[in-house]
Structure 1
Amino acid sequence: MGESTKITVEGSSPLENAIKVAFATKDMQSVNAHFGGAKEFVVYKVSKEGFELSEVVKTDTEDMEGDDKTDFKVKALKGINIMYCESIGGTAAAKVIRSGINPMKVQEPRAIEDILKELVVMLKNNPPPWVKKAMNIQTKNDPRLERWTVE
């Protein structure tokens, strides 16, 4: 049966309203692995204040088949808000989304640090509503909310 190991890293400072972002990687530096084939996911906490390494999730699903692999990886990534990968199949993407993880595909291998910096900028400015929800930030002053108010 597959093996999952989480290597937790103690952070130096608490990040308020941080989201957890996982990256499918072969080298711990870049998003360069397919979701189904990834043997490691490096996880960071990301907030307006910055980012810090949270944990490394090592998954070995070589001796598993089909849906068991996907179910195993989804379970191992419990608590993750966003997961970046090179690619992901439709069935796997549906399972990831149902578990509360937002999958993000990169067009080509990208440096994890570059993506983390982009996420910090996005969080400082105006994150989309689904990110605000993940961060437990109340959406205020959003004109779109008026459409759903009851008079």
Structure 2
Amino acid sequence: MKVAFASKDNIYVNEHFGWCKKFFIYEIKENSYNFIKEVESKEKIENELDKLSYKIQCLDNSDILYVEQIGPKASLLVKDSKIFPIKASNEKEKIEDVLNKLIKMQENPPIWMRRIISK
């Protein structure tokens, strides 16, 4: 399961999806996770739909997108791309804590996670 985080520092989930300049991609395998790569998303695009499509491409086929904020249109486009968007509970939510929470969730996964696991 691949998770993309919208973050300024690869420590906290602290970026808005549409304004994010880089995404940090992690992979969860069973009871562990590892950092895969950092993806730049700095390109300035005026057209809203084109900008959101570009941001989705930057997610590198992730299964989950974890953000501080995401607009309703962006959220729908992300879901249409078969990526599950999740808003952080607060600006101080650590990526490491989220990854550990997602690992724990696999024990009794919610429906959306079951779909990802069964891929």
Return 5+ residue gaps in structure 1 as ranges: 1-18, 138-151
Alpha-carbon separation, structure 1, partners of 2:112 and 2:18: 25
How much does 1:60 deviate?
1.1
Task: Find 1:46's aligned residue among 10, 15, 28.
Answer: 28
More helix by share: 2
Return 5+ residue gaps in structure 2 as ranges: none
| 1:1-150 matched pairs, under 5 angstroms | 19-62=1-44, 64-65=45-46, 66-109=48-91, 110-123=93-106, 125-136=107-118
Q: Is the 8 A contact 1:41 1:58 kept in 2?
A: yes
CA RMSD of aligned residues (A): 1.4
How much does 1:127 deviate?
0.9
**Structure number with higher relative contact order (C-alpha < 8 Å, ≥ 6 residues apart):** 2
Given the two structures, how large is their TM-score scaled by the length of structure 2? 0.91
Alpha-carbon separation, structure 2, partners of 1:91 and 1:42: 22
Q: Is the 8 A contact 1:48 1:121 kept in 2?
A: no
> Could you say which structure has the larger radius of gyration?
1
Alpha-carbon separation, structure 2, partners of 1:49 and 1:88: 28
* Aligned length, in residue pairs: 117
How much does 1:22 deviate?
0.6
Given the two structures, how large is their TM-score scaled by the length of structure 1? 0.73
Q: Moved runs in structure 1, 4+ residues, more than 4 A?
A: none
